[in-house]
Amino acid sequence: GKMVEAARKYKRIVQAGVQNRSGPYNLKALEYVRSGKLGKIPLVRVFNMKKGGPFRLGDPGAKPAGFDWDAWLGRAPERPYHQRLIHSGWHHFWDFCGGDMGNDGIHQIDLALMLMGDPGMPKSVRALGGRYCHRGDDSQVPDVQTVNYDFGDFVMTFELTGYPRYMDKTTGTIRRKDEFPYWTQNATRIEFYGSELMMTLGRHGGGWIVMTSGGKVVEKTYGRPCDVPHYQNFLECVRSRKRPTADIAIVHQTCSTMHMGNIAHRAG
């Protein structure tokens, strides 16, 4: 909230790094949803079903000369130096991270909320999860997590894993070609269950398809990486003073929605 206040007070253009909001194929998907062709959408499923293994801290190692550990910790609670933390290891501790929901899942959550019209905060949140596959390792964050968000007009579910070797994000090759991922094992897809049709959408260049009964595809759009359009949108807004596609106020709501999921998970 304070960042939103500061951006407005000082009349600054602040764009968050959720680049899917600037992707032309995602904006086309938004238009399709707004057209009403899917019908009423009471259920949205968001997936973050990534592979992963057990996490071990191992030897803490010696702090490198000149390395400011206190500065690295920032406002996190004091703890002894550990070499494993300063690279990817910090992702496994609540003091530094929101788990993979806050690391990667936030991108799918944000894209789902954009297509649903940025509905604001959920009315209620319920969560389950824990370390089920890699129980007993050194990680604090879940390798299985499910969250149910009730937005009043629809329910959004979030499903996370950190273990299956057969799940994959959309590859860089697919993101740059007229090709779709294998949807069933696409780790970061979103599914919109309309009363008339179903849309499956892949973030970061995955494209989207709309299906009816029998798996018949009635509409499709291939994706492309969203980074460059996102940079362009920011620069255009700096010049025009218009709000960017990923304005800080909108993404503050997305981040709050994500945090509520983790709070529900940790509170039990």
Q: Residue 205: give its domain's CATH number.
A: 3.30.360.10
87 falls in which pLDDT band (50, 70, 90)? confident
Parent domain of 123 = 2-57+64-267
What is the share, in percent, of the chain residues with pLDDT greater than 90?
99
pLDDT computed for residue 120 by the predictor: 96
268 falls in which pLDDT band (50, 70, 90)? confident
Bridge partners of residue 35, in order along the sequence = none
Q: How many domains does the chain have?
A: 1
Determine the average pLDDT of the residues in 158-173.
97
Half-sphere exposure of 154 (CA within 13 A, CB side): 21
Q: CB 66: neighbour CB atoms within 10 A? A: 5
Rg over CA atoms, the chain: 20
Instruction: Indicate if the pLDDT at residue 227 is higher than 90.
Output: yes
pLDDT computed for residue 99 by the predictor: 96
Is the pTM value of this prediction over 0.85? yes
Half-sphere exposure of 226 (CA within 13 A, CB side): 26
pLDDT digits (tens, 9 = 90+) for 175-208: 999 999 999 999 999 999 999 999 999 999 999 9
In the block, tokens 């057969």 appear at 166
Q: Token pair for residue 99? A: 């788990």
Q: Which of 31, 25, 22 is nearest to 223 (CA)?
A: 25
Report which secondary-structure segment, H or E, holds 209. Answer: strand 207-211
Q: Which of 199, 152, 180 is nearest to 37 (CA)?
A: 199
On whether the CB atoms of residues 47 and 189 are closer than 8 A, the answer is: yes
On whether the CB atoms of residues 15 and 3 are closer than 8 A, the answer is: no
Report which secondary-structure segment, H or E, holds 114. Answer: helix 106-115
On whether the CB atoms of residues 106 and 18 are closer than 8 A, the answer is: yes
How far is residue 159 CA from its own chain's centroid?
A: 11
Report angle CA 118, 123, 129 to the nearest 5 degrees. 95
Q: Cα separation of 99 and 37, whole Å?
A: 36
Determine the average pLDDT of the residues in 17-33.
98
Report which secondary-structure segment, H or E, holds 185. Answer: none
